[in-house]
Amino acid sequence: MRTVLSYLANSRYVAYLDDDNWWHKDHLSSMLTVIRDVEWAFSLRWYVDPVNHVPLCIDRWESVGPDAGFYRKHLGGFVDPSSLMIDKLRCHGALHWWTTPWPTDKKGMSADRHVFSVLSKNHVVAGTGKATCYYTLDPKDSLHAHRRRWIQETLRKQKSRSQGT
């Protein structure tokens, strides 16, 4: 679906938004500001509580860009689809990868890793440095326990700093 809709979009620049996520009002404008000089752009994202939809903390581990974060060694980094914008004219070779998950992926949910891999290896990127995407956590996700630990550790450190300890 993303491949076809990317080509059908009446815009050179394409951004994606999963149905359980949302953007800050400045998300698209900040992405457009940085993508003008590169081929694709990304923002940081907030982890959001799935029950009350409250932003918990900025993701500093997963969707943090090329050659960074938790996926650095295994995948060369990562950017969540809801946090990226692609210049479809300059990155057209990456678009068809939305249809192809990793061969070992039984659920078929890893096509975004393929797209990221092609983008990061073959195209110039810039990050906004701003967390303008809100990513709702899924307790059924296999990485949920890791994310909860990261969030709890971050919140503990923030509380410690605010108390001056």
pLDDT at 159: 83
End-to-end Cα separation, the chain, in angstroms: 50
Question: Rounded mean pLDDT of 33-45?
Answer: 97
| Full-model pTM | 0.92
pLDDT at 158: 84
List, for residues 95-148, the tens digit of each pLDDT value.
999 999 888 888 888 899 999 999 999 999 999 999 999 999 999 988 899 999
In CATH, the number for domain 2-162 is: 3.90.550.10
- Residue 165 pLDDT exceeds 80: no
CB atoms near residue 46 (< 10 Å): 19
Query: What's the per-residue H, E or C state across 93-129?
Result: HHHHHHHCCCCCCCCCCCHHHHHHHHHHHHCCEEEEE
